[in-house]
Amino acid sequence: MASRLTELQVKNAKPRAAKYTLAAGHGLTLLVMPDGSKYWRLRYRFGGKARMIAVGKPYPFTTLRQALAKATECRAQIEAGTDPAENRRSERLARRERVANTFGDAAEAWHRFRSQASDAKTAEQARTYLDKDLLPKLRGRPLDAISAAELGALVAGIERRGAFDVAKKTRQWLKAIYSYARANGWTAADPARDLAAIALRAPEKQPYPHLQVDELPAFLRALDAYDGSDLVKACAQLALWTANRPGVTRTLRWSELDLDAGLWTIQKGREGMKRGYFHLTPLPSQAVAMLRVIQRVTGKFDHVFIGRNDPAKPLSDGAMTAMFKRIGFHRKQTAHGFRHLVSTALNDRGYDRDWIERQLAHGDPDKIRGTYNRAHYLEARRKMMQDWADFLDRMRLESNNVAPISQAAA
């Protein structure tokens, strides 16, 4: 059926004292208002009731041809059993709801949900990155309004400051936040999907400064001659004997030690332990002897290596670094570098790589196959670390002409 109106008639329709309509066919009409504005309306019946709906924007923003096309779309909905007015209302509400859903709301909800399944350290790390890098820039932004380019620029800024691990985590968490938001129906957007495609390659990590085995005699002589804090020296010795992470070593608690069994138990979720793994550390006799001496001094406190100014707190993070500087090994040896040193030495001496990796607490022991004792290689590691401590003692004797620590501490 041909239109009853032409574009020229629509253009030339003049206002009157009262509003009036011009029929365009199939229920589509042009409503002309006294002020000269012109609106498209579609009259139809749905469920036995007369209805009317606005079609497009007012003329001339919606032409006659466009209005006819939109009216055809509405009639197709009616024939399919959908009321165009109700459909439009639902779309408008959904659009309004999506606009109201901000990144900040979604991120906070995701973090609360994620924290239920995460260990405390992971949840705290996510909280730190959210507060520092994501929320300050994105908190009030609607989820649907954030583009891939915007997120790409944000992550690129993190990479420019050299924080490539943070950038990697940020990409992962942006994807997780948007995935969580989509699953909850807050958005259909996925601007974080392809961020990995524009990730810069991180420079190769340099190992923590550490000595070679043949440089140990000079270090051990300097350590023996150190006349500063006995606790700092003891902490360094324990780190060298066990190869445990420095954050765990300096915050060692008496409750974690069984000196009679020569065992140090690090419970799952312990602060300072990477990924919060459970870990068993066999203690060589030298370490047990030294700890028994220290127990007479700090045994009534929580931590073995207590803080200089506050015994309720552990040794400070920089205490060992200051000692290395004082004895002439600044930037040559670090607390974390002991792990590299011990790993290299034990591998060179031919010990089973699985024993060494377990001693270094690499990997989740809960996922290692085998029996409990086999998974932790406890007895094999006990002999390996005793051999290592004895080797260090022989080196001290040869280079310094002093008694082994196990005898000196007795």
The answer to whether residue 210 is catalytic is no
Catalytic residue among 171, 233, 339, 376: 339
Instruction: Classify 245 as helix, strand or coil.
Output: coil
Q: Return all residues near 80 (Cβ < 8 A) that are at least 6 apart.
A: none
Catalytic residue among 16, 57, 95, 274: 274
Catalytic residue among 245, 303, 381, 382: 245
Q: How far is Cα 276 from Cα 236, in angstroms, rounded to an integer?
A: 22
Catalytic residue among 112, 127, 160, 372: 372
The residue with tokens 């109700």 is 86
Beta-strand runs (E) in 311-398: none
Catalytic residue among 88, 169, 221, 362: 362
The answer to whether residue 362 is catalytic is yes
The answer to whether residue 303 is catalytic is no
List phi, psi (to 5°) of 17. -60, -35
Catalytic residue among 168, 193, 330, 336: 336
CB 260 within 8 A of CB 112: no
Instruction: Classify 337 as helix, strand or coil.
Output: helix
The answer to whether residue 274 is catalytic is yes
CB 361 within 8 A of CB 245: yes
Q: Return all residues near 131 (Cβ < 8 A) that are at least 6 apart.
A: none
Q: How far is Cα 163 from Cα 160, in angstroms, rounded to an integer?
A: 7
The answer to whether residue 49 is catalytic is no
Q: How far is Cα 407 from Cα 403, in angstroms, rounded to an integer?
A: 6
CA distances from 401 to 233, 315, 398 (A): 19, 30, 6
Q: Return all residues near 341 (Cβ < 8 A) that are at least 6 apart.
A: 210, 211, 212, 213, 216, 240, 333
Q: Would you state the structure tokens that stand for residue 184, as one six-digit string?
A: 């909850």
Residue at 109: amino acid letter: A
Q: Return all residues near 147 (Cβ < 8 A) that are at least 6 apart.
A: 191
The answer to whether residue 339 is catalytic is yes
CA distances from 293 to 198, 259, 289, 406, 407 (A): 56, 12, 7, 11, 12
Residues labelled as active-site residues? 245, 274, 336, 339, 362, 372
